[in-house]
Homo-oligomer: A and B are copies of this chain.
Amino acid sequence: MQLIESIPNFSEGTDEKVIQKIVNDFTDSEVTFVDHTYDSYYNRLVITIIGEPENVKKALLKASDTAIKVIDMRKHKGAHPRMGAVDVVPFVPLKNITLEECIELSKRFARVLSERHNLPVFLYDESATSIERRDIDYLRKGEFEGLEDHIKEVKPDFGPETPHLTAGATITGAREIMVGMNVNLGTSDVKIAKKIAKAIHARSGGLAYVKAMACKFDGMTQIGMSNINYKKTPVYRQLELIKMEAARYGVQVVSSEFCGLIPLDALIDVCKYYLKVEDLDQKKIIEMNLP
């Protein structure tokens, strides 16, 4: 059986009714609903599902129909960059499926979505048609508000060269699995959190495959990270580097959490590092299940 993951991002993190409608489209479908997170600061809903490729595509189209119907981007405000009601839809290979098959799937999804709603759709990451178009920030530059001008320079891969009035445009594509982790710091000073995030972030001199950003969170601060190659940059290195950078400000790591799926081998690497184990054969790990 082929298995893929999708982590659609919708531009609504405040209105519980809208969130519930979109969530229901997934829980009513033949996919496994892994989790969802949303908050009004980013004003964004992020859902994680896994399932067989065609079932995932079907569920995504259904939920996208709902989102495009109920979300009006002209009224949307949030801290996270975004250009559409259905902002980003990644397709991630998990089991018995190649990246190439996920690229094809993302293109079929893009075609159907754009035709159904007369919506501009961009292909990013592994599905992109050029190196610069792989970068989501390049495609999303100017966000929803700047889309009308931006789209003249950076043409969509599917659909019209004018934004959808209320739904903007959508970005989709295949990518490798990503490990999401938030680390909560024992300080309410977001300036310190930002300095630490900068020290971790790849482009500002941190860890090669890690993006990091800081935000206020429940009276504390939080470093939100995504790791696009946990095999080369293991998860423990992220945490230990944060601890090291935080120490100069006398700040402690209070807690952490994973977002979405966690590959087993990412956890094995964590155990190997901290327990100083050289070899830890995945075949010897047993998931017990007693009556």
Contacts and interface: CB of A to CB of B under 8 A. Distances in A.
Interface string A262-291: 111101101100111111101111111111
**Residues of A contacting B: mostly:** mixed
A286 B50 contact: yes
A284 B34 CA distance: 7
A149 to B, nearest CB: 40
A217 to B, nearest CB: 14
Identical subunits present:
2
Contacts of A241: none
Interface in A152-184: 177, 181, 183
Interface string A4-46: 0100000000000000000000000000001100000000000
A50 B287 CA distance: 13
Contact of A290 (B97, B181, B235, B280): B97
A92 to B, nearest CB: 10
Contacts of A5: 286
Interface of A: 5, 34-35, 50, 93-98, 177, 181, 183, 235-236, 239, 253-258, 260-265, 267-268, 270-271, 274-280, 282-291
